[in-house]
Amino acid sequence: MIDFAGRTAFVTGGANGVGIGLVRALLAQGCKVAIADIREDHIERALKTLDNQEAMGVKVNVADREDMARAADEVEAKFGPVTLLFNNAGVNLFQPIEESSWSDWDWLMGVNLHGPINGCMTFAPRMIEHGKGGYIVNTASMAGWLASGSPGIYNTTKFAVRGLSESLRYSLAPKGIGVSCVCPGLVKSLIYASDDIRPKELMDGAKPVNTEGVKQLAGMHEVGMEPDVIAERILQGMRENQAYIFPMPDHKEELAEYFQEVLGDYRDYPQDPGYDERVKIESFRRERYKEAREAARNAI
């Protein structure tokens, strides 16, 4: 079971929403915590609310791998090796794929997918080198399981974060590093105001901000789960070394229904040429996959 006390944590999107909840929860566990965010004013505001001096702010653009490496160096120079990584930063566009621009794709893919990739590629090798074990938590979403017509790009990124997390979980387990993918639903956060931090260079083809829609989304997120509640559930999921952390019970029945629909799309086709040989290969893969899942569960 992961021991939090004395470890250094790096939390992206750490100044608001789930991020600030994680910051508070980790400080309470005796961690040193870096609040990594793209908004300096939000970082400063967050730091002023914390009595614990074992917190620092670091401005970072998670979509920029060089900036991520620079932030990692800055944090480790002050707090020592980062062994807890929370790839939590995220943005959203509430529109369908066919109405989106290339810049829309570049923006959301940069933050929501390349951000976790950059975090993992920056910190995982360092965790291995430090030899102190560790843990990585990637924030996906229930939108990474249950897609809709809108938000199309967001769904795409969150489905990909699931694949990233699961593969990394199996490769890092033998090295004493755990990986979980957290899949929240509606959270009290500022993700509805993502347009406020959209880079100017990625505005080409952007639709005008729907101010009325933003107001409606703000109201919905106001009744979302409190960041401190979801953060405690994430830490509990880490203690239990869960592959997937579902902090809300809201979607369990819907997800079960969806799985049944997926299984219903299978057909009992007649055996085709090469079937027996293919089944042998797949049975080998299936056994290795089962072994990987079991090893990852028991490694941390």
For tokens 């790096």, the residue is: 10
Q: State the burial class of residue 59 (Cβ atoms within 10 Å of its Cβ: 0-12, 13-18, 19+).
A: middle
Q: Which two tokens stand for residue 174?
A: 């033998």
Q: How large is the C-alpha radius of gyration of the chain?
A: 20
Q: Kindly state the tokens that stand for 60.
A: 């970072």
Distance between CA atoms of residues 90 and 157, nearest Å: 10
Contacts of 101 (CB under 8 A, 6+ apart): 204, 205, 206
Q: Which string of DSSP letters, residue by residue, matches 171-211?
A: HHGGGTEEEEEE---SBSSSGGGGGGG--GGG-TTPPPP-H
154 is catalytic: yes
Helix (H) or strand (E) holding 32: strand 32-37
Question: Helix or strand or coil: residue 250?
Answer: coil
Which among 135, 154, 170, 192 is annotated as catalytic? Answer: 154
Q: Which residue has the tokens 């990233």?
A: 164
Phi first, then psi, for residue 121 (nearest 5°) are -70, -25
The Cα–Cα gap between 187 and 251 comes to 14
Question: What is the secondary structure of 62-113 as a DSSP string?
Answer: TT-HHHHHHHHHHHHHHH--EEEEEE-------S-GGG--HHHHHHHIIIII
Q: Which residues are part of the catalytic machinery?
A: 154
